[in-house]
Structure 1
Amino acid sequence: MLTTVATRADADCLARRMVEQRLAACAQVSAIDSVYRWQGAVQAEGEFRILFKTTAARWPALERALRAGHPYELPAIVALPCSEALPAFAAWVHAECAPAEDAGHTKMR
């Protein structure tokens, strides 16, 4: 799942909050250049993309949390399906996104 924000501080805040809440196993922040149409005008601005590694089961809660804490009027919150993943990595994502009382704590990146 991914979203974009205008500042590094907003990106870091959302990334940390979603991982701390176990809604994502990992969040990666990248600086990007965006060109888009907004309110009738073409805009070109730098943004920060946050890629969240999560599970299908955690998507609804992650979406709600992002909408509640997102600084944009209309945030891009997009789920990208994962058809395949290294099994050990997929297991780590599932363990890290599980509620705290159910979570395993294997460290992988």
Structure 2
Amino acid sequence: MSETTKGAAARDVFVIMTSVGSEEEAERIAGALVEGRLAACCQTFPISSTYRWKGEICRDTEFLLLAKTAKAAEAVERVREQHSYEIPEIIVIPVIGGHEPYLEWVRRSSS
């Protein structure tokens, strides 16, 4: 377990989560983040979403994008700029531990 961090040691690494309406949009945002060194890695997944919007219950297929970064504020701003939704879901999750060599790679790759 010597290569695993716990607690505050990893608090400079974040996962940014957003959902978008198409695979193309997810890939475009992921590319902007990685190419701009605002994320080390992005993953996209097709998802089913159920939500309330403007008084209606909606069910849609969306794409979830997860981005690993050491530059949360800048990455959030880039996602916001690139996102097509009126009120995009953009959630920042602090990483509180993990495999230290991977976390170090995230730090190096997103700075």
TM class by shorter chain equals 0.7 to 0.9
Quote the residue 1:37 is aligned against.
Answer: 52
TM superposition score normalised by structure 1: 0.86
Deviation digits for residues 38-80 of structure 1 (CA, Å, limit 9, x no counterpart): 000000000000000112xx11111111111111000000011
Q: Flag structure 2 segments of 5+ consecutive residues without an equivalent.
A: 1-15
Quote the residue 2:109 is aligned against.
Answer: 96
Quote the residue 2:9 is aligned against.
Answer: none
Highest RCO, 1 vs 2 (Cα 8 Å, sep ≥ 6): 2
TM superposition score normalised by structure 2: 0.85
Structure 1 runs, 4 residues or longer, greater than 6 Å off = none
Give 1:33 shift: 0.1
Q: Across the two proteins, how many residue pairs are aligned to each other?
A: 96
Quote the residue 2:92 is aligned against.
Answer: 79
AA aligned to 2:33 is: M
Cα RMSD for the two superposed structures:
0.5
Q: Flag structure 1 segments of 5+ consecutive residues without an equivalent.
A: 99-109
